[in-house]
């Protein structure tokens, strides 16, 4: 995390990725000013073709698709931030506990992680999501609940190596308590690993939320890119026009754009912070 | 297969190129030194966790497991208190949890997955008709992914850092980031709806009375696009693993020896390096299956393919919980079982995994 500017200068991939993310955040924050209409405002007929008034036409209810595209970025962003915050806090807590305590706690937690990692996540999400009822907070909570094991494993292995390092040993030798060592030494040292992990988790979360919405398991009232894809596909089948060009395509591209941006940042952070990969 | 080759000091390449970094999360499914009985114990624990989860979650949710069926606002809303009570009795919901759990387990052992609320048929019967379609789809997809991923991975790894490699790597890394449901929808709309190249959906032509070759062709035509989408999705992973595995073989003594013998490049590439590099790819199959199950749910949904994934989603749509739970259990149990088989198989293939 040191000298972020010099880090950026070295890597075009990081620059592009960050620029994409910045665009996404700007669109989400400025949505009320950029979007010509509200996302649910009915401003035209059903299935209007693109025009000056409706850049991407209208949906089945007559709402402006361009506005929905812009407002949808907020859902994506909320999911990315909230879900990865959940995943990271759970993952870090478990990983640190397992790595520092060792012994039985470590074995038990890591067995749990193994079991969870072996399960296919999507059926689990569908199962719990269907029973809990679709809502945005359910999606976020579920993503948090099922994605933390990977982070926990990464944090644990990193903690194990850090524990052996001189500065941690000497801090403990001078009488530093567990909380002190965690706060003063471990968390800063884990920072880079966590940063890279954060970006990957955020990308996964965005994809999963869109996927669930695409399968009709998302929040029916939220304006979500995934849900929009589902609706476009369901209607496209019966309408057979060029509807997909301004309905399916823009929302698919927006989603891809978000995931790509996150992934590029992740790829760029990875070798920097993973010394094993840097050494080639 | 017993050369214990030191990981080659990798061939030189532009050091700062991010695209040339090895894939970050090379699968760590198999932790070295784990005994076979520990693996099996882990498997049993996982299966137990899944079954308990399947039993417990509906009961942990607010209300009771059939609340979604009987509550206000559901299509099967039950107003009458006596009907409600008899439903409770039918599903045995007033019994102590331990007994319910026992009954559930013994039912499972007899292959009883309950009765669908939607069509009143045993869930196991419905699922039985679906499993084959899903397996056909995943199986064909896997074959396609092997045919694409492995040769390209060898090609790319062999010419590490060259134009071919950089191009392929960039392509697959980008492809990996495209959500399968976006790609699947696009392929469906463009190739099926607009160009009319493939049938609209389903596993075969409805009401057909094809026999023999005609039947095979019909199933194949319906299978082609969904299986290709699935295959391309999985090929990315195989490509990445194969590539980095081949890169690990570069500079090995046996390659030098082969070259000194005057072997052809092709033979060195495929029969020597490629063959030795194949082992890690086997280890990904289990992981891949788990990913394929995720992808197959989307693909079946988009192409209306009559498999387990679309069955699960249909059950969710009509709130047919016994059916949904049955599909969930079969899907997840298949995944963990495949993982176990691959794990045990891998031990036989590579004795080094056991310390």
A47-105 per-position pLDDT tens digit: 777 888 888 888 777 788 888 899 999 999 999 999 999 999 999 999 988 988 888 88
**Does pLDDT of B43 surpass 80?**
yes
Best of A118, A206, A232, A253 to disrupt the B interface by mutation (most B CBs within 10 Å)? A118
pLDDT of B148 over the 90 cut: yes
Mean pLDDT (whole number) for B142-148: 91
Quote the CA–CA distance of B312 and A89 in Å, as a whole number: 32
Q: What is the predicted pLDDT for the residue at B6?
A: 33
Chain B stretch 317-336, residues whose beta carbon is closer than 8 A to a beta carbon of chain A = 317, 319, 321, 324-325, 327-328, 331-332, 335-336
Please say if the pLDDT value at position B170 is more than 70: yes
Alpha carbon distances (Å) from B198 to A93, A172, B217? 50, 67, 12
Write down the pLDDT at residue B298: 93
Rg (CA), chain B: 25
Instruction: Calculate mean pLDDT across residues B76-93.
Output: 75
Q: What is the pLDDT at residue B200? A: 78
Q: Quick one: pLDDT at residue B174? A: 86
**Which residues of chain B have a CB within 8 Å of the CB of A226?**
181
Rounded CA-CA distance A218/A142 in Å is 12
How far CA B335 is from CA of A207, B179, B301, B340, in Å, comes to 21, 21, 19, 9
B195 touches A: beta carbon within 8 Å: no
The pair of structure tokens assigned to B239 is: 């490509």
Rounded to an integer, the average pLDDT of B230-242 is 89
Cα angle value A214/A217/A218 (rounded, 5°): 80
Residues 6+ apart with CB under 8 A from B41: none
d(CA B160, CA B135): 35
Residues 237-266 of B with CB under 8 A from A: none
Q: Which of A211, A248, A280 sits opposite B179 (nearest CB)?
A: A211
Dihedral sign (CA B322, B323, B328, B334): positive
Cβ distance A263 to B68 less than 8 Å, yes or no, reads no
Whether pLDDT at B28 is above 70: no
Within 8 A by CB and 6+ apart from B307, the residues are B130, B131, B133, B134, B137, B203, B296, B300
Confidence of residue B21 (pLDDT cuts 50, 70, 90): very low
Give mean pLDDT, residues A205-217. 90
Distances (CA, A) of A23 to A197, A255, B86: 21, 13, 58
Residue B299: the pLDDT is 93
**Contact criterion met (CB < 8 Å) for A127 and B290:** no
- Indicate whether B18 pLDDT > 50: no
| Residue with more model confidence, B207 or B241 | B241
Cα B151–Cα B153–Cα B155 angle in degrees, nearest 5: 70
pLDDT of A2 over the 60 cut: no
- Residue A131 with chain B: CB contacts under 8 Å: 57-58, 61, 68, 321
pLDDT tier at A34, thresholds 50, 70, 90: confident
Tell me, yes or no, if B58 comes closer than 8 A to chain A by beta carbon: yes
Mean pLDDT of B309-317: 88
Q: Which of B34-38, B65-69, B320-324 has the highest mean pLDDT?
A: B320-324
Q: Could you state, in order of their start, the residue ranges of all structural domains in chain A?
A: 65-279
Distance from CA of A133 to the nearest CA of B (A): 9
Rounded CA gap, A158 and A156, in Å?
Answer: 5
- Structure confidence at residue A276 (pLDDT): 43
Residues 6+ apart with CB under 8 A from B304: B200, B201, B202, B310
pLDDT for position B26: 36
What's the mean pLDDT when you consider all of chain B? 79
Contact B45 A216 (CB under 8 A): no
Burial bucket for residue B24 (CB in 10 Å: 0-12, 13-18, 19+): middle
In chain B, the percentage of residues whose pLDDT exceeds 90 is: 12
What is the b/e burial string over B117-130, where b = at least 16 CB atoms within 10 angstroms of the residue's CB? bbeeebbbebbeeb
User: Tens digit of pLDDT for each residue in B101-116?
Assistant: 888 888 888 888 888 8
pLDDT at residue B60, rounded to an integer? 75
In the predicted structure, residue A266 carries a pLDDT above the cut 60: yes
Q: Please tell me the predicted confidence (pLDDT) of residue A264.
A: 87
What are the tens digits of pLDDT across the range A235-257?
765 556 777 788 888 999 999 99
How far does the CA of residue A189 sit from the closest CA of chain B (Å)?
20
Going by pLDDT thresholds of 50, 70 and 90, the confidence category of residue B33 is low
Which range in A5-14, A43-52, B132-141, B271-280 is most confidently predicted, on average pLDDT?
B132-141
Alpha helices, H only, A37-135? 65-101, 103-117, 121-132
CB-closest option in B46, B57, B182 to A131: B57
| Pick from B62, B297, B302: nearest CA to A133 | B62
Q: In angstroms, what separates the C-alpha of A180 from chain B's closest C-alpha? A: 32
B159: helix, strand or coil: coil
Are B187 and B201 in contact by the 8 Å Cβ rule? The answer is: no
Mean pLDDT of B137-150: 91
CATH 1.10.3720.10 fits A65-279, yes or no: yes
Question: Which residue on chain A is closest to B192 by alpha carbon?
Answer: A237
Domains of chain B in start order, with CATH, are 53-112 (no CATH), 132-355 (1.10.3720.10)
Q: Is the pLDDT of residue A136 over 50?
A: yes
Mean pLDDT of A185-190: 82
B253-286 tens-digit pLDDT:
888 888 888 888 888 888 888 888 888 887 777 6
Identity of the residue in B10, B45, B181 whose CB atom sits nearest the CB atom of A211: B181
């Amino acid at each position: 995390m040191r000298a972020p500017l010099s880090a950026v200068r070295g890597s075009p991939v990081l620059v592009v990725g960050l620029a994409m993310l910045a665009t996404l955040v700007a669109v989400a924050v400025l949505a009320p000013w950029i979007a010509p209409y509200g996302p649910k405002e009915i401003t035209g007929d059903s299935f209007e073709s693109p025009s000056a008034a409706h850049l991407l036409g209208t949906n089945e209810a007559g709402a402006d698709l361009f506005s929905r595209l812009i407002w949808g970025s907020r859902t994506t962003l909320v999911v990315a931030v909230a879900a990865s915050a959940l995943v990271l806090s759970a993952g870090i807590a478990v990983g640190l506990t397992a790595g520092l305590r060792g012994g039985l706690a470590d074995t038990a937690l890591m067995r749990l992680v193994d079991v969870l990692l072996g399960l296919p996540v999507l059926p689990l999400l569908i199962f719990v999501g269907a029973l809990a009822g679709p809502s945005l907070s359910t999606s976020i909570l579920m993503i948090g609940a099922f994605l933390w094991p990977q982070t926990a494993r990464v944090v644990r292995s990193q903690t194990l190596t850090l524990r052996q390092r001189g500065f941690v040993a000497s801090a403990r030798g001078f009488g530093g308590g567990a909380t002190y060592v965690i706060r003063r030494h471990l968390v800063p040292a884990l920072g880079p690993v966590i940063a890279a992990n954060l970006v990957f988790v955020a990308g996964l979360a965005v994809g999963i939320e869109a996927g669930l919405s695409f399968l009709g398991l998302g929040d029916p009232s939220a304006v979500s890119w995934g849900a929009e894809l589902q609706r476009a596909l369901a209607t496209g089948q019966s309408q057979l026009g060029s509807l997909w060009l301004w309905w399916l395509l823009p929302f698919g591209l927006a989603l891809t754009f978000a995931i790509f941006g996150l992934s590029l940042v992740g790829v760029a952070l990875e070798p920097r912070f993973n010394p094993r990969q840097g050494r080639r | 297969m017993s050369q214990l080759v030191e990981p080659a000091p990798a061939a030189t390449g532009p050091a700062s190129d991010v695209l040339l970094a090895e894939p970050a999360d090379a699968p760590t499914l198999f932790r070295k030194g784990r005994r076979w009985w520990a693996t099996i114990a882990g498997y049993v624990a996982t299966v137990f966790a899944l079954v308990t989860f399947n039993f417990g979650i509906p009961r942990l949710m607010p209300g009771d497991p059939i609340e979604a069926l009987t509550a206000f606002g559901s299509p099967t809303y039950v107003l009458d208190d006596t009907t409600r009570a008899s439903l409770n009795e039918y599903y045995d919901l007033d019994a102590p949890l331990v007994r319910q759990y026992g009954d559930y387990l013994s039912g499972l052992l007899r292959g009883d997955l309950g009765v669908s609320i939607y069509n009143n048929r045993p869930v196991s019967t419905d699922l039985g008709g679906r499993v084959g379609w899903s397996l056909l789809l995943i199986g064909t997809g896997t074959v396609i992914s092997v045919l694409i991923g492995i040769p390209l991975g060898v090609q790319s790894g062999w010419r590490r850092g060259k134009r071919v490699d950089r191009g392929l790597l960039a392509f697959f890394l980008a492809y990996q980031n495209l959500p399968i449901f976006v790609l699947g929808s696009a392929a469906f709309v463009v190739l099926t709806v607009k160009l009319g190249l493939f049938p609209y959906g389903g596993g075969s032509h409805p009401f057909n009375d094809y026999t023999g070759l005609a039947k095979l062709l019909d199933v194949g035509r319906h299978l082609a696009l969904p299986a290709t989408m699935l295959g391309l999705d999985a090929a990315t992973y195989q490509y990445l693993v194969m590539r980095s595995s081949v890169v690990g073989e570069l500079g090995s003594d046996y390659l030098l020896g082969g070259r000194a013998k005057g072997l052809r490049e092709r033979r060195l590439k495929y029969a020597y390096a490629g063959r030795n590099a194949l082992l890690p790819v086997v280890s990904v199959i289990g992981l891949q299956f788990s990913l394929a199950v995720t992808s197959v749910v989307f693909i079946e949904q988009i192409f209306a393919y009559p498999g387990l994934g679309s069955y699960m989603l249909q059950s969710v749509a009509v709130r047919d919980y016994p059916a949904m739970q049955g599909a969930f259990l079969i899907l997840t149990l298949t995944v963990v079982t495949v993982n176990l088989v691959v794990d045990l198989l891998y031990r036989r293939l590579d004795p080094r995994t056991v310390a």
